[in-house]
Chains A and B, each alone.
Chain A
Amino acid sequence: MTDSTKSGFYEETTPGKDQTFLDANELVLNMGPQHPSTHGVLRVILKLDGEKVLGTECVIGYLHRGVEKIAENRTYAMFNPYVDRMDYVAAVSNGLGYCLAVEKLLNVEAPPRAAYIRVILAELNRMASHQLWLGTHALDIGAMTPLFYTFRDREEILKIFEKYCGARLTTHAFRIGGTLYETYDGFEQEVNNFVKFVTPKIDEYEELLTTNRIWVERTRGVGLLSGKDCIDLGVTGPVLRASGVKWDLRKAQPYSMYEKFDFEIPTGENGDTYDRYLVRIAELRQSLRIIDQAVNSIPAGPIMAKVPKIMKPPVGEVYVSIEAPKGELGYFIVSDGSTQPYRLRVRPPSFVNLQALDKMVRGSLIADVVAVIGTLDIVLGEVDR
């Protein structure tokens, strides 16, 4: 308890002159780093008045591995697998962002077939990430069953990944300049089957939750965040869209041929936990649309651009961002002309979104803290890097 009082927030939120003796009954509670629903090793110091949250402070860094520093000592190709370990539930998106950034630095572009494969896998991964989010979020709010439903369906996605590149979670699916692997026999068929399989399953999740009275009561009006707050805090992804801001990098600055696909950006109105839930469910359906279009119009051709064996990008810097499942995932790379990056900086969506936690939970109850951590969809591997 003593180390939490050292930080500024404890004094700052202590009531001033109109303090009564009731205010003295404040409880400082350590939630985490070992706690069932902080989604990893996040430590949240809560200042409580009974069940009411007066203030929070996040302590992060328990999973810090120095990924950005490691990048400075690896060649561009060697660093590629490391990015999978940041947001390990959406490893494909991480790899995609990194490959796009290095490709921009090298001034090459992946061939169309490779771009299509990337889109299919990235969207499948978005679905896997959202499914995992839904399961754990529901579990945090007390509904056990959706977790098992979503894991059952996510398994099908992981099976496709495994068949494609041999790995299920940290896939390392893409290479700089395209993809290493051609699609396996029956890939298109399997993806099509998956689309057919999972469409009714999404209705199944909704059946359990969307109109569930307790679920609606637990999520509606919880963790409110206005569009302006989101922009001020740099919050992106479904959290931003649920606050009514129609901003999706796949539409705003299309990459990897996303401009060829027809899909919508689902947005919410109220910016509460319920809207974020609806937006993510709608995104599951939009991802299915993209996958369906991509897999049925996948062009033939090479899957790898001409990339030198030893990559020595010209001196310069580049920032490339993509729409990862959790928000804007950016890579800022500074090249000094050698085989290794001079500096690599990741803009992780989870890290930035986590800033909003305090604003969202102040004045609500402990149970809402858990719901809000869930709805922000953070992965500590990405927050700490």
Chain B
Amino acid sequence: MLDYVTSYLHSNVTPGQAGNWLWSLVYILIIFAGVSGIVIVMNWGERKALAHMQVRLGPMRVGPHGLMQPIADAIKLLTKEDIMPSEADKPIFWMAPVWVVMIAFSVFIVVPFGPTHAVTDMNIGILFMLGVSSLGVLGVVMAGWASNSHFPLMGALRSSAQMVSYEIAMGLAVVSAVVMTSFTGLGAYGIGDASASGTLSMIGIVQAQAQQHVWFVFKFFPVGLVAFFIFAVAMIAETNRAPFDLPEAESELVAGFHTEYSGLRWSLFMLGEYAAMVAVSSIAITLWLGGWLRPFPSVHGPAINIPFFWEHPELGVVDFVFSFAPAMVLFVLAFFCFFNAARMPKHPLLKIQTMGLYAFGLVLGGVGLILLAPPVRDRIQDIFWFVFKIACFMYMYIWYRATWPRYRFDQLMKVGWKVLLPLGLGVLLMTGIIGLSPEILAWLKGVV
């Protein structure tokens, strides 16, 4: 038994590939908890960031700077009356939110938080992700249909049309990135060996970026950038977020497909939506932004030999500096906590809040200290950079929501079919043409 547990510890592959059920289960639980944690943080962060963009404060009452607001919300939603419309199609009404959450979380099976930090690695990873994530629309349609009401029905119809039409552009952009994995040359215009085989595996795609010394967003500039742009637009539409939030357009369809939902079921929809946002962001990160790779992945600097690094003498000075980033980020957050706690008005009513903020700062600082320890530092690198990139994407989601009005349905379709789809085809074609340019030139010479 103990052997089974420890046998995986020094493995170089994911637990799924190693065939270790126990560690797979542990990873699944960690990812489930982690993604839920991201959703909770996002809940608070979205409200705070959006509020500050809109010259207001956002939650301030529950805990210092509203830090406990997500917990208060969760308690409120859990204790709400469970309402099911009498005319609803009950089993489907019950199933829809569960389906949405299940799908949103299943996607994370192949998301690589690091070379070994994934539940498993499939040779069709990206295909699996696209396939499973597009099943989410079924839950939305189920919710809209089962509610037996006009506004949800219209929301569901909009949603299905939108998700289906944006998936095509999304798929073309993804194929362009997959094609890039097969051109093994180094750098942005490294054309390389066209006979090399590409990969659909999520881990393989990131490793291809590491081997080619370029994030695919910069590869064949600006082709990779355009592909990334297409995906970035399509993924917002895919997750029903502003400015493509038509299925739940509050000002038109009341609350869209989840108009009839309340309490726990509604919160499941929200959980599913945010988890889906994290999921599509991680596709984008894996395909174009180098996955778990730190910035400037090909720059290492001269190798150094300093205490705690004897195990990895091949690491350069740049790696050494970057390895402190996770701890530093937490220290900065802790500093902000202390700074704001010191700025709190000295009022007896705010005493507990001030102490709470100091305590939160201490916790963050403590975690930062743990991350400073060399073994942890080494292990946490890849996860940190992946989560950091997810955080950037989440911030962009909030920013879009604060800036843009909502598209109209026909305009949305126009953008999807008349702009993104041709652009996606063009990008795919350009990727092939640039990648195969030596062969094409040779062939042209032969013809002329």
Question: Which one of B230-238, B346-354, B356-364, B399-407 is at the interface?
Answer: B399-407
- Distance of B154 from chain A, by nearest CB (Å): 7
Contact B409 A212, beta carbon cutoff 8 Å:
no
Tell me if A190 is interfacial: C-beta within 8 Å of chain B: no
Contact with A along B412-439 (1 / 0, CB 8 A): 0000000000000000000000000000
Contacts of B407 in A (CB 8 A): 142, 214, 217-218
Q: Select B54's contact among A37, A148, A214, beta carbons within 8 Å.
A: A148
Interface residues of B (CB under 8 A from A): 50, 53-56, 150-151, 154, 157-158, 242-243, 245-246, 249-254, 401-411
Q: How many Å lie between the Cα of A37 and that of B251 in the bound state?
A: 5
**A148 and B56 contacting across the interface, CB-CB below 8 Å:** yes
> Are A367 and B408 interface neighbours, CB within 8 A?
yes
- Of B50, B150, B409, which is within 8 A of A27 by CB? B150
Beyond A35-B254, A217-B408, list 14 extra A-B contacts (CB 8 Å).
A29-B150, A50-B157, A140-B251, A142-B243, A142-B251, A142-B404, A142-B407, A143-B406, A147-B54, A148-B54, A212-B405, A214-B407, A218-B405, A365-B408
A215 within 8 A of B: yes
Q: Which residue of B lies closest to A153 (CB)?
A: B55
CB contacts (< 8 Å) of A367 on chain B: these are: 246, 249, 252, 406, 408-409
Query: Is A142 a contact partner of B245 (Cβ separation < 8 A)?
Result: yes
Q: Please indicate the chain B residues that have their CB under 8 angstroms from the CB of A369 in the complex.
A: 252
Counting residue pairs across A and B whose Cβ atoms lie within 8 Å, the total is 87
A139 touching B251 in the complex, CB below 8 Å, given contacts A27-B150, A144-B401, A366-B154 = yes
Known: A36-B250, A144-B54. A212 touches B404 (CB 8 A): yes
B414 to A, closest residue via Cβ: A217
Assess whether A152 is interfacial by the CB under 8 Å rule: yes
Whether the Cβ atoms of A144 and B408 lie closer than 8 Å is no
- Per the bound structure, the CA–CA distance linking A367 and B251 in Å amounts to 8
Q: Which residues of A contact B249 (CB under 8 A)?
A: 142, 367
Choose among A51, A144, A152, A212 the residue that contacts B402 (Cβ–Cβ < 8 A): A144
Complex contacts, A368 vs chain B, CB 8 Å: 408
Counting from the closest, the 3 A-B pairs by CB-CB distance are: A142-B406, A37-B251, A148-B54
Of the candidates A35, A148, A209, A218, the one whose C-beta lies within 8 Å of that of B408 is A218
| Shortest Cβ distance from residue B164 to the other chain A in the assembled complex, whole angstroms | 16
Q: Determine the chain B residues whose CB is within 8 A of the CB of A35 once the complex forms.
A: 254
Does A298 sit at the interface, judged by CB under 8 A?
A: no
CB distance from A47 to the nearest CB of B (A): 12
B406–A141 touching, CB < 8 Å: yes
State which of B53, B150, B157, B406 has its C-beta within 8 Å of the C-beta of A214: B406
Q: In the bound complex, do residue A145 and residue B403 qualify as a contact, i.e. CB atoms below 8 Å apart?
A: yes
Report A376 CB to chain B, min CB distance, Å: 15
Question: Any chain B CB within 8 A of the CB of A110?
Answer: no
**A199 to B17, alpha carbons, bound, how many Å?**
64
Q: From A28, which residue of chain B is reached at the shortest CB distance? A: B150
**Contacts A144-B54, A148-B56 given; does A138 touch B405 at CB 8 Å:** yes
Chain B residue at minimum C-beta to C-beta distance from A37: B251
Contact of A36 among B53, B55, B245, B254 (CB under 8 A): B254
**Which of B246, B401, B404 neighbours the largest number of chain A CB atoms within 10 Å of its CB?**
B404
- Chain B positions within 8 Å of A149 at CB level: 54-55
Q: Specify which chain A residues have a CB less than 8 angstroms from the CB of B406 in the assembled complex.
A: 141-143, 214, 218, 367
A370 in contact (CB, < 8 A)? yes
Contacts of A214 in B (CB 8 A): 243, 404-407, 411
B158 contacts which chain A residues (CB < 8 A)?
Answer: 51
Are A37 and B405 interface neighbours, CB within 8 A?
no
Chain B residues with CB under 8 Å of A218's CB are 405-408, 411
Q: Which of A206-250 contact B (CB under 8 A)?
A: 208-209, 212, 214-215, 217-218
Chain B: CB-nearest residue to A50: B157
Who on chain A is nearest to B158 by CB? Answer: A51
Contact sample, A vs B, 29 pairs, CB 8 Å cutoff: A29-B150, A29-B151, A29-B154, A30-B150, A36-B251, A51-B158, A51-B409, A138-B405, A139-B251, A142-B243, A142-B251, A143-B404, A143-B405, A145-B54, A148-B56, A149-B54, A214-B411, A218-B405, A218-B406, A218-B408, A365-B410, A366-B252, A366-B253, A366-B409, A367-B249, A367-B252, A367-B406, A368-B408, A370-B251
